[in-house]
Amino acid sequence: MTGSIPIVPLGESAWTMVLGDAVDRETHRQVTELAMRIQAARIPGIIELVPAYATLTVFFEGEGEAIRRSLAALADAGSLRGASAAAATGSLHTIPVAYSGPDLDDVALATGLSIAEVIRRHSGREYTVYLLGFAPGFAYLGDLDPALVLPRRPAPRTRVPAGSVAIAGSQTGVYPLTTPGGWHLIGSTTTRMFDPAREPAALLRAGDRVRFEPIR
Amino acid sequence: MITLGKAPPFATVQDRGWRSGRAMGLPRCGAMDPLLLAQANALVGNPPGTAGIEWALGAGEIVVEEPCEMTILGAQRVEVNDRPADPEHPVLRLDAGSHVVILPRQDSRFLYVAVRGGIDVPLVMGSRSTYLPGGFGGFEGRRLRNGDRLPVGQAHHAPLGGTVHPRHGSGPAAGTGADVVLRILAGPQWNRFDDAAHRDFLGGRYVVTTESDRMGYRLSGPVVRPNTAATLPSEAACPGAIQIPDGGQPIVLMVDGPTVGGYPKIGVILAADLPTLAQLPPGRTVRFREISDAG
């Protein structure tokens, strides 16, 4: 096993680089590190990079083989593993939250914690943005305090208001737009996670860090 | 200005969509049949990527407030001031006050209306496409309704004139009802499916179901299952990606589809063939042909 990272086609206009097959912080750190290296290399033809939990997908225009060769040259798993863990370049965002969501009581009941304890455990840590998807500006944040881990709601809501702060599995997030959703709603924020008129439109990027701050 | 005197059930302003934005969860959006919109734009002398109206599911009428040049591709029939338009001369030179009645085809889903100068709604993040799930872009982020007035932009180039024979959406198999063959590349999770699953998938006939929209088309046919039930961490997807969810029935992601997903992707339809699928009404059948270099 030479430690090279598989590079597989996603259609004719993207390459997916596969760093792992599970959700864990170390693999994601390597994804973030790899994305930085590719950005720095300024390979012609690349439109954008889409990091996810354990993969990095490179969307491009034109001839893909030359790009693939350039990516392969950067895809040294050994050096990614060895790269400094202190390379946390993502911005830190603090999001004020009014902890009074419609599912807060149910979450307290299901976890056996008091509401105050749910709030303390949710707001008391720094999360990493793993990826954005599902809707523009929807950031998957991890990892939740294990005591708060719950499966998704059995029946999703058809309408979750924009700004809802939610949890499911070992993730947390904020709904940027009013959409259907199956996560547990524990609070809300007035922070605009996505604004098409703003630059950047999405507040968070993969690799950023987030803290939630309870407000009265 | 042009007015939707009578809007069809499903019309939106679309151009080529958002070239980048996937990294923040914004899908490409834009026309479901970008090739047909591009032809329409070329006919009226618009630059590629100019915004037009994507029109589906019913008849309707446009009233033109000022003189303009317009072309409508993919319709069954167009009438200008109660007279049938000549399909051999698709560029309509319209006087102020003209009424244009549009009747869609039964054998293809989307027709396109291009006006010389383009539909001049505000740019959002550099595009005039409509993102319906989020309610932004295009005309007020929504489907067009009766009475909507759409501004028309300034024209820059002369129209080509009416001698071009346009492709009408569905391609050669449209009229016959035969299976449409869609070429695919093996997807990132192709190897999660064994040889038998590959054979079933590539040998199968899949029906386009009624659960088909701009986010994705659900197909019905031979069940396909991956080797392992192990979930896949969400990763980037793209229009044309063929996802295999728990029931083993494929879903093809379309232009408004989510940018990431955790279902295995057995294949990705070639960009040249995706508009053909997009134009197939429910009930039509498709087969897949894998054309990766590895054979």
Distance from CA of A75 to the nearest CA of B (A): 17
Those residues with Cβ within 8 angstroms of residue A118's Cβ, 6 or more apart along the chain or in another chain: A99, A104, A107, A108, A111, A148, A186
pLDDT at residue A3, rounded to an integer: 62
- Which residue did the predictor score with more confidence, A101 or A84? A101
pLDDT at residue A82, rounded to an integer: 73
Is B24 within 8 Å of A22 when comparing Cβ atoms? no
Which amino acid is it at B292?
A: S
Q: What share of chain A is helix, strand, coil (3-state, %, to 5)?
A: 25, 30, 45
- Which residue did the predictor score with more confidence, B281 or A87? B281
Q: Confidence band (pLDDT; 50, 70, 90) for A85?
A: low
Note whether B273 and B267 are within 8 A (CB).
Answer: no
Taking alpha carbons only, the member of A118, A203, A214, A216 closest to residue A167 is A118
pLDDT at residue B126, rounded to an integer: 96
N-terminal to C-terminal alpha carbon distance within chain A? 54
- pTM, two decimals, is 0.94
Q: Which token pair is B114? A: 């291009």
SS3 B157: coil
**DSSP assignment of B180-215:** EEEEEEEPTTGGGS-HHHHHHHHH--EEEEEEE-SS
The alpha carbon dihedral of A11, A17, A22, A27 has a sign of: negative
10-residue mean pLDDT series, chain B (295 residues): 98 98 97 96 93 98 97 96 91 96 96 97 98 96 98 81 50 68 97 96 97 97 90 94 95 97 96 97 97 65
pLDDT at residue A87, rounded to an integer: 54
Note whether A47 and A57 are within 8 A (CB).
Answer: no
Confirm or reject contact between B24 and chain A (CB < 8 A): yes
User: Is pLDDT above 90 for A77?
Assistant: no
Mean pLDDT of chain A: 93
pLDDT at residue B293, rounded to an integer: 63
Confirm or reject contact between A170 and chain B (CB < 8 A): no
* ipTM over 0.90 threshold: yes
Q: List the single residue in B with minimal CA-CA distance to A6.
A: B188
Distance from CA of A130 to the nearest CA of B (A): 10
pLDDT at residue A84, rounded to an integer: 61
Q: Which token pair is B182? A: 């869609």
pLDDT at residue B160, rounded to an integer: 62
- Which residue did the predictor score with more confidence, A148 or B159? A148
Give how far Cα B204 sits from Cα of A199, B161, B221, B222, Å: 47, 44, 7, 6
Distance from CA of B158 to the nearest CA of A (A): 29
CB nearest A201 (choices: B125, B233, B260): B125
Q: What is the mean pLDDT of residues A20-47?
A: 93
Residue B268 and residue B262: Cα distance in Å, rounded? 15
Q: What is the mean pLDDT of residues A176-183?
A: 93
Instruction: Sort residue A102 into left (φ over 0), alpha (ψ -120 to 50) or beta.
Output: alpha
Confirm or reject contact between B142 and chain A (CB < 8 A): no
Structural element, H or E, at residue A66 = helix A64-74
Bridge partners (DSSP) listed for residue B113:
B53, B72
Give the mutation candidate from B255, B260, B269 for the A interface (greatest A CB count, under 10 A): B260
N-terminal to C-terminal alpha carbon distance within chain B? 53
Residue A184 and residue A161: Cα distance in Å, rounded? 12
Residues of B in contact with A175 (CB under 8 A): none
* Cβ count within 10 A of residue B251: 22
Encode burial over B60-70: b for 16+ CB neighbours within 10 A, e otherwise: bbbbbeeebbb
Taking alpha carbons only, the member of A3, A5, A53 closest to residue A27 is A53
**Lowest pLDDT segment from A54-58, A95-99, B4-8, B167-171:** B167-171
pLDDT at residue A68, rounded to an integer: 96
User: Rg for chain B (alpha carbons), in Å?
Assistant: 20
